[in-house]
Structure 1
Amino acid sequence: MLDIRFIRENADAVKAAMKNRKADVDVDAVLTLDARRREIVGEVETLKAERNKISKSIGLMIKEGKDPEAVKTQVREMGDKISAFDEELRDVEAKLKEGLLYIPNMPSDTTPIGESEDDNPVIRTWGEKVELGFEPKAHWDLGAELGLFDLERGAKLSGSGFPLFTGKGAKLERALIQFMLDLHTEEHGYTEVAPPFMCNAETMTGTGQLPKFAEDMYSVPLDGLYPIPTAEVPVTNMYAQEILDRELPICHTAYTPCFRREAGSAGKDTRGLLRVHQFDKVEMVKFTTPETSEEEHEKLTADAERVLQKLGLHYRVIELCTADIGFSAAKCYDIELWAPAQDKWLEVSSCSNFKDYQARRANIRFRDENGKPQFVHTLNGSGVALPRLVIAIMENYQNEDGSIDLPEAIQPYMGGLKKLEK
């Protein structure tokens, strides 16, 4: 969340940033609540000082034989006013906090200003589009023919968008997860964690999922829990309400399934594995100092890219403009894989620098060189997400006979298997 003092002192800049983001938020309403809160606090402090002064006179009046009842009545009336102000203050502070939770992060100074996703600049590309020499089959046809997944039975079990991987398809999912975890822990220096797959509302609020995106998440109301939409949520909140006494950066990686209702995406890319409600993902999360977060953001993005390079997949990196950047992010790179049968790019990773936005919500701090507590900067990125990675492997490595070659890097995790075939 943004610091209310920052909003107060930079109101015009915040409003301009929200306009660039296309964010429908009422900054003036938040500032009005903040002004009223400070006004109430001032009134209460004045009343308490006056009450204390008058209260001291009661003892003196009694000693002098004077009747203190009128003064006592005045003190009680002042106490009633203080109680009324305290009640109003609680209401104003609750509304102020809620208002702040709905204001997205300030885009970084280097985030490009744009009107839509069409204004996202391409930063770089890696590899070339594969020349298959034949009409490529879509992944859903390949998967059905090779017995890699059974979408119909998955829908029977849970509904549309819940894929059922079978046989070598299930093994491929597991192999890719293991490959990515090994790469990030053994070569990139991340510490693996295995977090819970469900989190409470406070945890969801810490990373920005609640309250803004409640309709996009599944929930278990009786228990007050939410199946996680990404490992970012539990891993980032591992250090909520803490002052870190470890050297930064702290780098974690985790595998989790992810659950997303995506209520606003009905009817979009619903065929095959393109857009599903449950999917696997390996996540990377970093906790850094403010001075190093930009450098660590570039490193984190490179770590995600390395996954795709080792798999020999053509990809591009785009930078999200102000109108397309995520709610909590200040700066974000998306990594997209080329899928020849889809004839389009598929996002497999978003690598974001949140600066201190999430840390303020979750109260995650560290001590600077002077021992003063400061908010950390948090970063995260998919390293990377399945099943679009599976789509890209299937469609880019397919053969005319319907078989699929496996990238060399994944073969050891598939028991030496080099090809998926009937």
Structure 2
Amino acid sequence: MDKLLKLDKERRDLISKSDKLKAEMNKKAKTKPSPEEIKKLRKLSNGIKKLDQDVKKVEKEYDSLMLLVPNIYSEDTPVGSDESSNKEVYKWEEPTKFDFKPKDYIQLGRDLDIIDLEAGAKTSGYRGYYLKNEAAQLHFAVLWYAFNKIIKKGFTPMVPPTLLREFALIGSGHFPTGKEDVYQIGNPGRLANGTSIKNPIFLAGTSEPSLLAYYAGKTFKEEELPIKLCGFSQCYRSEVGSYGKDIKGLYRIHEFMKVEQVVLCRNDLKESNGWLEKFREIAQEILKDLKLPHRVIQICTGDMGVGKYKMYDIETWMPSRNGYGETHSDSNLTDWQTRRLNIKYKTKKGKVKLAHALNNTVIASPRILIAILENYQQKDGSIVIPKVLKKYVGKDRIERRK
């Protein structure tokens, strides 16, 4: 922050000097200059050019540092350095109990011929997978069910691009920090055929950057808010920072599909925090519909991303982990993203303000399949299809093939 304040003062001082020279030059230019005065005007002009170049240089460094400035935290956010300080705030149902020894989803997938991790690794490499037969149906069933549910709640459905320009990821806050978790198309400077890349393209890890970038530079009328979006997209993550964690299976993978919510609302903490709670309720409503035991965790200061004001994770019971696994994330970023993307609105009194932005994981698959397959397994090795998904899958249960 000290460096930032120093650069800001330097920038303002340079602008002030440049403005004074410009005023002096304009004053002298109003009269017919003598040869001597022409020399002075040229000197002034060169001085202005030099100052303006210095301003641009300082502004570039200032803007780079501004991208690293975190958001403030809500007063009720738990203070702590890591996930051990996160706080459980709600729990729904007790963990599933079995009167037999339950299998993990990997064994279930193999026995029922619905998941093939070995072929996935052969074809796609580390963390690759194939969903087959009913697992493929269940994958799209849970996504489609969730997508339709959110549309019925008045959200605009969107299938956004997953190929993104850098500005979208800078705007959402995934850049400059977090670059190691994002795939870039082609080599850093060239495509595979040797063509130079003028505007690098990246693979989205969530539809959040795409949905926000849709309105980059936009100024709404106050009465147009809130903007409610629901994105359905493929997502890609390198998981470089997760080396050694969940190395086998579907929990931590390079590509998956997700239904995501984004809201842009007025610059009012009561309103944006209200949306945060609505998002939490929506995610829980889906898990309750699926009859999956879960809990809500409020994330502490040290475990939140730099742009978060307040954040919840929702964790679903996964028997093979003998614990809960994160399946949903729900965040209020206030004006941290909208400042970067210049998303504003004009109040009824004519004042221009930055909007508040929030996002929520509605459902992500195949991770949610871990919880469904394991919690719904039966003693005979079959898996009952959750009631709300039966119409999408077209059957009541998954059974071993004869």
Q: Shorter chain as normaliser: what TM range? A: over 0.9
Residue 54 of structure 2 corresponds to 88
Do the aligned partners of 2:239 and 2:252 also contact (CA within 8 Å) in 1?
Answer: no
**Which residue, 252, 257, 261 being the options, matches 2:238?**
261
**Which residue, 4, 22, 36 being the options, matches 1:70?**
36
Structure 2: how far apart are the matches of 1:263 and 1:35?
38
Structure 2: how far apart are the matches of 1:130 and 1:390?
15
Which SS does the other structure have where 1:355 is aligned?
coil
**Which residue, 103, 118, 127 being the options, matches 1:152?**
118
Normalised by the size of structure 2, how large is the TM-score? 0.93
Structure 1: how far apart are the matches of 2:168 and 2:81?
32
**1:165 has 2:144 as partner:** no
How far off its partner does 1:262 sit?
Answer: 2.0
Root-mean-square deviation over aligned CA pairs: 1.4
**Which residue, 154, 157, 169 being the options, matches 1:204?**
169
Structure 2: how far apart are the matches of 1:122 and 1:171?
33
Residue 10 of structure 1 corresponds to none
Residue 177 of structure 1 corresponds to 143
| Identical counterparts, % of pairs | 35
How far off its partner does 1:58 sit?
Answer: 4.4
Residue 135 of structure 1 corresponds to 101
How far off its partner does 1:378 sit?
Answer: 0.7
Residue 421 of structure 1 corresponds to 399
Normalised by the size of structure 1, how large is the TM-score? 0.88
Query: Any stretches of 5+ residues in structure 1 without a counterpart?
Result: 1-26, 60-67
Letter in 2 for 1:208: G
More displaced stretch, 205-214 vs 221-230: 221-230
More displaced stretch, 367-376 vs 80-89: 367-376
Residue 323 of structure 1 corresponds to 302
Structure 2: how far apart are the matches of 1:105 and 1:164?
39
**Which residue, 312, 321, 344 being the options, matches 2:291?**
312
How far off its partner does 1:115 sit?
Answer: 2.1
**Which residue, 207, 215, 221 being the options, matches 1:231?**
207
Give the paired residue count.
Answer: 386
Structure 2 counterparts to residues 207-356 of structure 1, below 5 A: 207-221=172-186, 222=197, 224-245=200-221, 247-291=224-268, 292-356=271-335
**1:43 has 2:17 as partner:** yes
| Alignment deviations for residues 225-246 of structure 1 (CA, whole Å, 9 cap, x no partner) | 1111001111121111111246
Which SS does the other structure have where 1:284 is aligned?
strand
Do the aligned partners of 1:348 and 1:386 also contact (CA within 8 Å) in 2?
Answer: no
| Alignment deviations for residues 141-198 of structure 1 (CA, whole Å, 9 cap, x no partner) | 1111111111111122221123211111111101111110111112x22221111121
More displaced stretch, 156-165 vs 310-319: 156-165
**Which residue, 102, 111, 115 being the options, matches 2:77?**
111
Query: Any stretches of 5+ residues in structure 2 without a counterpart?
Result: 187-196
Letter in 2 for 1:232: E
Do the aligned partners of 2:143 and 2:364 also contact (CA within 8 Å) in 1?
Answer: no
Residue 8 of structure 2 corresponds to 34
How far off its partner does 1:50 sit?
Answer: 2.2
Structure 2: how far apart are the matches of 1:257 and 1:344?
27
How far off its partner does 1:57 sit?
Answer: 5.0
Structure 2: how far apart are the matches of 1:153 and 1:329?
39
**1:122 has 2:88 as partner:** yes
Letter in 1 for 2:113: G
Which SS does the other structure have where 2:320 is aligned?
coil
**Which residue, 357, 367, 380 being the options, matches 2:359?**
380
Which SS does the other structure have where 1:86 is aligned?
helix
